[in-house]
């Protein structure tokens, strides 16, 4: 290994994560895709020690091992700039406990191989050669201590099956190296995988990927929100054609879809071209539906520009348009090639639009519970510049849910928390009285009442009020119209309409049948003046 100064502009792709997370296998897979070699710190340190790590632990103790490991890894990271080919490195699970290693990683691209504790324990115990996997209690303690370090350091995150994901992610990881302000989570589902990138410069990842991936479509046909285009056209790559759409719910119609499809055909778009959706949830749903159906499906990249789209609607492959009977009654599942979310686009949103998007942040944090809910409940000012990490963590939450249930037949339903009543309010108001997020906020209050989560409901109502969001339903929208719209909800089955309930943050359930009288009471309560 060559040793050079730290002023490198050739960052290495460095795999970090707990023991048995699959770091070594992932590094080898990425190196093979990038036509380079992978270095493994555990293998190299054993070579320098002249004995297996477990034997050295027993003879010299953990402190001496960590000293020798740290010295080796610092040399590896410093030397990464000497090779013109991409350097791929896998680090031992405990390497990040060194402050010097953490500082050295800041000039590189750390990739966290995420693994659940129980899965890691089963693999490590099965291997039988890991000195720190002898005690289940000690294993759990170290796992809990290291998780925040991995999370803080990670520029990219691979899901639990990192070994399988790594090859598909390889060229996107290589492209990410030149974009230090962008973080990426790799999305996995039954029908496809893709990068979800969040950060200033996220759309530059597409051009960087073009240099890395010959298989990417090189002709872009953009469907853009007219306001987003006016403010942020400079974020977009070269396009063959740009089709403008108004970003209001009235644009999510069969007629608008027909117009977009006709313009794609007139412009000569082919099946091997790319549709780029640039705008909020309306444009993402409409452009995604057109991409799913044009010539039976063309590649799609989502470039969300609103908070609701960046934290929720751009991910997971749901596309669709509305009918007078209800919201999203016509649609298709069409996984994107990538989701590229640049939070700088949020700076030009009207305050009321940003606040409406914050409702989806609250919803996602309620579903996730834990640290995300603690952070979100403490947000007092919606400053777009400070929302980047929250956007990324909300995206991760949604991707984790979708990975288990792509087609909405099980756990993915939890993402509808607040939406059953919320969509009905939108429909009853003709899609003009409330923004989507405002209606969902009211729906959250109803869902929490049905969940008997009165304390959480009071806190959420306080959050909504603090950000200028409604907590009472406009009397011009009749309760009967809301009930009728719920009766036509597309999620209803012969058993009835299942609700998502949340007795406490982090514990959602779905498909819960609720007595219609209780539902009506929860809706009626939204009209009661002066009540939370």
3-class state of residue 458 by DSSP: helix
Beta strand segments in 176-324, E: 182-189, 192-199, 220-225, 241-245, 274-279, 300-304, 318-323
The CATH architecture one would assign to domain 13-178 is: 3-Layer(aba) Sandwich (3.40)
Q: Where in the chain is the domain with CATH 1.20.1090.10?
A: 398-525
Whether 3 has a pLDDT exceeding 60, the answer reads: no
| Burial group, residue 513, by CB count within 10 angstroms (0-12, 13-18, 19+) | exposed
The domain 398-525: what is its CATH number?
1.20.1090.10
Mean pLDDT for the stretch of residues 66-74: 95
| Confidence at residue 528, expressed as pLDDT on a 0 to 100 scale | 73
| Confidence at residue 5, expressed as pLDDT on a 0 to 100 scale | 34
Q: pLDDT tens-digit profile of 19-59?
A: 989 999 999 999 999 999 999 999 999 999 999 888 898 89
Please give the mean pLDDT across all residues of the chain. 91
| Confidence at residue 505, expressed as pLDDT on a 0 to 100 scale | 97
| Confidence at residue 4, expressed as pLDDT on a 0 to 100 scale | 33
Q: Where in the chain is the domain with CATH 3.40.50.300?
A: 13-178
487 or 306: which leads in pLDDT = 306
With vertex at residue 446, the alpha carbon angle to CA 442 and CA 448, rounded to the nearest 5 degrees, is 115
186-349, CATH topology level: Rossmann fold (3.40.50)
Share of the chain above pLDDT 70, in %: 96
Whether 264 has a pLDDT exceeding 70, the answer reads: yes
Residue 2 — very low, low, confident or very high, per pLDDT cuts 50/70/90? Answer: very low
Residue 9 — very low, low, confident or very high, per pLDDT cuts 50/70/90? Answer: low
Residue 460 — very low, low, confident or very high, per pLDDT cuts 50/70/90? Answer: very high
| Confidence at residue 162, expressed as pLDDT on a 0 to 100 scale | 67
Q: Where in the chain is the domain with CATH 3.40.50.1970?
A: 186-349
Distance from chain centroid for Cα 358:
15
Q: pLDDT tens-digit profile of 343-392?
A: 999 999 999 999 999 999 999 999 999 999 999 999 988 998 889 999 99
Whether 456 has a pLDDT exceeding 90, the answer reads: yes
Share of the chain above pLDDT 90, in %: 78
| Confidence at residue 84, expressed as pLDDT on a 0 to 100 scale | 64
Residue 117 and residue 21: Cα distance in Å, rounded? 9
**pTM confidence score:** 0.91
Residue 364 and residue 465: Cα distance in Å, rounded? 18
Backbone angles phi, psi at 237, to 5 degrees: -80, 180
Distance from chain centroid for Cα 337:
14
Mean pLDDT for the stretch of residues 443-470: 97
Q: pLDDT tens-digit profile of 274-289?
A: 999 999 999 999 999 9
Mean pLDDT for the stretch of residues 1-5: 34
Whether 425 has a pLDDT exceeding 90, the answer reads: yes
Whether 337 has a pLDDT exceeding 70, the answer reads: yes
Q: pLDDT tens-digit profile of 143-168?
A: 999 999 999 999 999 987 767 789 99
């Amino acid at each position: 290994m060559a040793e050079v100064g730290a002023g490198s502009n050739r960052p290495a792709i460095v795999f970090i994560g707990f023991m048995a997370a699959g770091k070594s296998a992932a590094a080898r897979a990425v190196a093979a895709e990038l036509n380079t070699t992978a270095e493994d710190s555990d293998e190299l340190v054993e070579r320098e020690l002249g004995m297996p790590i477990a034997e050295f632990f027993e003879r010299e103790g953990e402190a001496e091992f960590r000293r020798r490991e740290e010295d080796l890894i610092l040399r590896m990271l410093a030397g990464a700039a000497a090779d013109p080919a991409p350097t791929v490195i896998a680090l031992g699970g405990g390497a990040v406990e060194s402050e010097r290693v953490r500082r050295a990683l800041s000039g590189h691209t750390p990739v966290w191989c995420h693994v659940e504790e129980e899965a890691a324990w089963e693999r490590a115990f099965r291997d039988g050669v890991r000195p720190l996997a002898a005690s289940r209690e000690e294993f759990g303690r170290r796992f809990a201590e290291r998780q925040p370090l991995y999370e803080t350091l990670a520029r990219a995150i691979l899901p639990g099956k990192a070994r399988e994901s790594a090859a598909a992610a390889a060229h996107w990881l290589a492209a990410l190296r030149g974009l230090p302000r962008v973080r990426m989570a790799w999305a996995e589902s039954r029908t496809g995988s893709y990068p979800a990138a969040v950060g200033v410069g996220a759309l530059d990842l597409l051009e960087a990927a073009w240099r890395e991936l010959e298989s990417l479509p090189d002709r872009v046909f953009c469907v853009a929100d007219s306001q987003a285009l006016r403010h942020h056209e400079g974020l977009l790559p070269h396009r063959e054609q740009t089709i403008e759409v108004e970003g209001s719910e009235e644009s999510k119609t069969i007629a608008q879809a027909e117009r977009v499809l006709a313009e794609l055909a007139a412009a000569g778009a082919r099946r091997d071209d790319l549709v780029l959706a640039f705008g909020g949830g309306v444009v993402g749903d409409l452009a995604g539906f057109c991409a799913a159906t044009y010539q039976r499906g063309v590649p799609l990249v989502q470039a969300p520009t609103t908070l609701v789209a960046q934290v929720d609607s751009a991910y997971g492959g749901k596309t669709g348009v509305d009918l007078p009977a209800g919201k999203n009654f016509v649609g298709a599942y069409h996984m994107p090639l990538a989701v590229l979310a640049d939070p700088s686009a949020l700076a030009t949103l009207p305050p009321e639009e940003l606040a409406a998007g914050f409702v989806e942040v609250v919803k996602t944090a309620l579903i996730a519970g834990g640290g995300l809910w603690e952070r979100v409940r403490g947000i007092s000012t919606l400053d777009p510049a400070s929302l980047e990490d929250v956007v990324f963590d909300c995206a991760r939450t949604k991707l984790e849910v979708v990975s288990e249930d792509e087609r909405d037949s099980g756990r993915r339903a939890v993402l509808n928390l607040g939406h059953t009543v919320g969509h009905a309010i939108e429909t009853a108001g003709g899609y003009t009285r409330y923004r989507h997020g405002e209606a969902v906020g009211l729906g959250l209050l109803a869902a929490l009442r049905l969940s008997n989560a009165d304390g959480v409901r009071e806190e959420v109502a306080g959050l909504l009020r603090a950000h200028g969001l409604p907590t009472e339903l406009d009397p011009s929208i009749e309760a009967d119209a809301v009930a009728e719209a719920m009766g036509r909800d597309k999620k209803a089955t012969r058993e009835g309409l299942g609700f998502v309930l949340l007795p406490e943050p982090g514990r959602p359930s779905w498909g819960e049948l609720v007595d219609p009288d209780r539902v009506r009471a929860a809706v009626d309560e939204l009209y009661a003046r002066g009540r939370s």
